[in-house]
Amino acid sequence: MLLHSALSYAGLAAAAVLVFAGPSRALALVAVAAAGLEVAMHHGLLSLHLVHVPLGPVLGLLLAVPSLVLWFRASGKAAVTAGAVATFVGLIQLAAYAAPRL
């Protein structure tokens, strides 16, 4: 699961950059919270379970959607790059959880 760890850390780092360089801190904090939960769950530090709702796709969407909005609003190089990275990490996480179910 080295790739999943790398994606989780990349999403967390990109979301953290969005907090400082992005146009909206509120949306960036949503992305940071989702990425932080993903990292904590991956390393076994946190265990969250919801009834009949897989949490992986929800966290992927909570990372991808705010990052996509911030990516389109951003004007600086760091914010644009971080928005793109966080968006693609969220979409890859969403695809990784959806692929085995197809």
Q: Summarize pLDDT for 21-42 with one digit per residue, the tens.
A: 989 999 999 999 999 999 998 8
**CB 25, CB 18: distance < 8 Å:** no
Query: What b/e readout covers 25-40, taking b as 16+ CB neighbours within 10 angstroms?
Result: eebbebbbebbbbbbe
**Phi then psi for 38, rounded to 5 degrees?**
-60, -45
Model pLDDT for residues 73-101, shown as the tens digit of each residue: 999 999 999 999 999 999 998 998 888 76
Q: What's the pLDDT at 72?
A: 95
Q: Is 74 exposed, middle or buried (0-12, 13-18, 19+ CB in 10 A)?
A: buried
pLDDT of 49 > 80? The answer is no
The pTM score is: 0.89
Average pLDDT over residues 7-32: 94
pLDDT of 1 > 70? The answer is no
Reduce the secondary structure of 32-84 to three states and give it as a string.
Answer: HHHHHHHHHHHCCCCCCCECCECHHHHHHHHHHHHHHHHHHHCCCHHHHHHHH
